């Protein structure tokens, strides 16, 4: 039947591709639907980003990820996953967003911005990078406030406030500083996050110690105005001039979309979507989760390197269901 597949995968990131490969290997027809470009989240990472993981831990499809660097960079990862998609000739549809789905007689009916499909099984591998965690302060919607960071050159000779203590914040602070920005870090906690890459930590600590980068620990933004930002610090309220604010305070899955699919999600943090950790099946029979989306607000729970196994877990469960039906 045209536009009918054994497995429909929502999300064309590394784990979505891994699910497609696993389905293909077992003779299951598949389609991968991605609302943006291939590995869309990785594409929107900062241009100079270096992965924490080594290349072999990012591999899928038993295909080597070759690099001369100890840790691969964004551009290398984009090229690797593009070649994976090409090598396996995956049925990947890009710039095609899923808008709704419903079930009839055990079959999923999935509508996108371009077409309608049916499938026996659906895998959701949508990641968490689409929706930023907002500061929820007055002025956050001003045009000089960014929740994503790309290229440091843009901030040359500017006064930049970077909010957050994680890898994305620290990388942005260091890179913009080295392009001539006057950088101030605003951190809610008492220290730089322990998750910051080990080769980056000495750099930021030394820049803070020598006074090249200002830091406000135990502080948070109270209000953002066009010319300056109001910060509540442990020494009292301060007004800091700022040309740009980089509010890199993290991201979260699209919980509304998951609920539209029928997946149960607790209202309380960490809001981990309901699923069987052994099979990755949700409360909706035949609907699975894969990758970082499984962690809810615990966005540091799953990575490419430790969620690659979800693809085989899911396809193994699907094959068992199919075998039971035929028995």
What local confidence, expressed as pLDDT, does residue 326 receive? 81
Using the predicted structure, report yes or no on whether residue 247 has a pLDDT greater than 80: yes
pLDDT of residue 81: 98
- Quick one: 323 exposed, middle or buried, by C-beta within 10 A (0-12, 13-18, 19+)? exposed
- Report the phi/psi class of residue 264: left, alpha or beta, with left for phi > 0 and alpha for psi in -120 to 50: beta
What pLDDT is stored for residue 210 in this prediction? Answer: 97
Per-residue tokens: 210: 């020598």
Q: What is the mean pLDDT of residues 207-236?
A: 97
Question: Residue 168, Cα to own-chain centre: how many angstroms?
Answer: 12
Length of the chain: 327
Q: Taking residues 217-246, what's their average pLDDT? A: 97
Q: State whether residue 131 is helix, strand or coil.
A: strand
CA R_g for the chain: 22
Distance CA 320, CA 316 (A): 6
Q: What is the pLDDT of residue 13?
A: 97
The whole-number pLDDT of residue 298 equals 92
Say yes or no to pLDDT of 2 above 90: no
Cβ proximity of 96 and 72 under 8 Å: no
Q: Kind of pairing, strands 131-132 and 236-241? A: unpaired
DSSP state of 174: H
pLDDT at 300: 86
| Mean pLDDT, rounded, of the chain | 96
Place of tokens 């789905």: 101
| Tokens coding 8 | 């429909």
User: How far, in Å, CA of 148 to CA of 150, rounded?
Assistant: 7
Q: Are strands 251-252 and 244-247 parallel, antiparallel or unpaired?
A: unpaired
Global confidence as pTM: 0.94
Mean of pLDDT values over 23-50 = 96
SS3 content of the chain, % helix, strand, coil (to 5): 30, 25, 45
The helix (run of H) or strand (run of E) holding residue 4 is: strand 4-10
pLDDT at 1: 64
Average of pLDDT values for 119-134? 94
- Are 300 and 195 in contact by the 8 Å Cβ rule? The answer is yes
CB 37 within 8 A of CB 149: no
| pLDDT number for residue 237 | 97
């Amino acid at each position: 039947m045209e536009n009918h597949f054994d497995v429909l995968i929502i999300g064309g990131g590394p784990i979505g591709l891994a699910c497609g490969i696993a389905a293909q290997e077992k003779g299951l027809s598949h389609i991968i639907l991605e609302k943006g470009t291939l590995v869309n989240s990785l594409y929107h990472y900062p241009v100079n980003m270096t992965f924490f993981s080594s290349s072999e831990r990012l591999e899928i499809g038993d295909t080597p990820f070759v690099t001369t660097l100890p840790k691969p960079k964004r551009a290398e990862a984009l090229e690797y996953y593009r070649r994976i998609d090409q090598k396996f000739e995956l049925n990947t549809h890009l710039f095609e967003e899923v808008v709704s789905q419903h079930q009839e007689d055990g079959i999923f009916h999935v509508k996108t911005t371009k077409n309608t499909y049916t499938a026996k099984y659906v895998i959701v591998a949508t990641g968490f990078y689409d929706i930023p965690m907002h500061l929820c302060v007055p002025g956050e919607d001003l045009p000089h406030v960014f929740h994503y960071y790309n290229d440091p050159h843009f901030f040359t000779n500017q006064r930049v406030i970077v909010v957050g203590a994680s890898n994305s914040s620290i990388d942005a602070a260091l890179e913009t500083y080295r392009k001539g920005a006057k950088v101030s870090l605003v951190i809610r906690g008492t220290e730089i996050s322990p998750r910051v890459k080990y080769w980056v930590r000495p750099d930021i600590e030394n820049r803070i110690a020598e006074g090249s980068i200002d830091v406000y620990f135990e502080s948070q933004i109270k209000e953002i105005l066009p010319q300056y930002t109001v910060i509540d610090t442990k020494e009292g309220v301060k007004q800091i001039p700022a040309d740009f604010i980089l509010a890199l305070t993290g991201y979260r899955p699209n919980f509304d979309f998951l609920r539209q699919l029928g997946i149960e999600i607790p209202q309380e943090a960490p809001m981990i979507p309901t699923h069987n950790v052994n099979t990755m099946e949700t409360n909706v029979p035949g609907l699975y989760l894969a990758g970082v989306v499984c962690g809810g607000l615990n966005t540091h729970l799953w990575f490419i390197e430790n969620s690659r196994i979800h693809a085989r877990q899911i396809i193994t469960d699907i094959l068992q269901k199919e075998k039971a039906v035929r028995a």
